[in-house]
Amino acid sequence: MAQHVEIGVTGDLSPILPQKDDGFASALKMFQLPSSVPFGAPVVQEWVQQRRENIRPWITFFNSANFRKPPSLTRLTKRILANVEYFKSNYLFVYIGLVLYCLITSPLLLIAVCASAGVGYLLHLRSKEGMKINILGRDLPLGQQYALVAICSLPVFYLAGAGAALFWVFGASFFLIGLHAAFYNIDALIASQEDRFDLEEV
């Protein structure tokens, strides 16, 4: 004789709503390093490698034939979001190039950055050798050592003009990237790629 077993399930079940795809928010993710993994050189190398793999051909990026005036303000907003999403790795390397240019043209700031990076590298080597830094009877982990170096470097960076350089890099990046994203006709590029795909299928 078969026995019936009843299982009671109680509680509130809330449906999982799909998240909207925000092009601007997803574009900002290109500047984010993985947060679930400890910060270190291999993580940075992997992150940079992913950006390099997602980079679009520079010939396509600078193709003057695809630059067109946006027909309307609504279309301008959509075009900027589409371009930032499509060329996000290219824009990141444009930003890095402006940072390097700013450092090269500011010798004092370059020396300060190299000195700070050198101290951080020495701390990394000491950590690999098992040597610890003790302050007030407390061992500092490597992450806190990096943070301490960064805090101590702030006055040096300020005297070296890092504030003005930072504003210049942000301003130049915003202008150049915004100008490219506003006038680059991404629709023509996508249409040409779709036509090429259709021809390959035939």
- Domain ranges for the chain: 73-106+162-201, 116-160
User: With pLDDT > 70 as the criterion, what percentage of the chain qualifies?
Assistant: 72
**Section 78-89 average pLDDT:** 92
Interval 104-155: pLDDT, tens: 998 999 999 999 999 988 888 888 887 777 777 777 788 888 888 889 999 9
What tokens does 180 get? Answer: 């490219």
Strand-strand pairing, 133-135 and 138-140? antiparallel
Least confident of 23-27, 147-151, 179-183: 23-27
| Residue 30 confidence (pLDDT) above 70 | no
- Whether 165 has a pLDDT exceeding 60, the answer reads yes
Please give the Cα distance from 145 to 124 (Å, whole number). 9
Residues 6+ apart with CB under 8 A from 80: 178, 181, 182
One DSSP character per residue, 32-59 reads: PPPSSS--SHHHHHHHHHHHHHTPPPHH
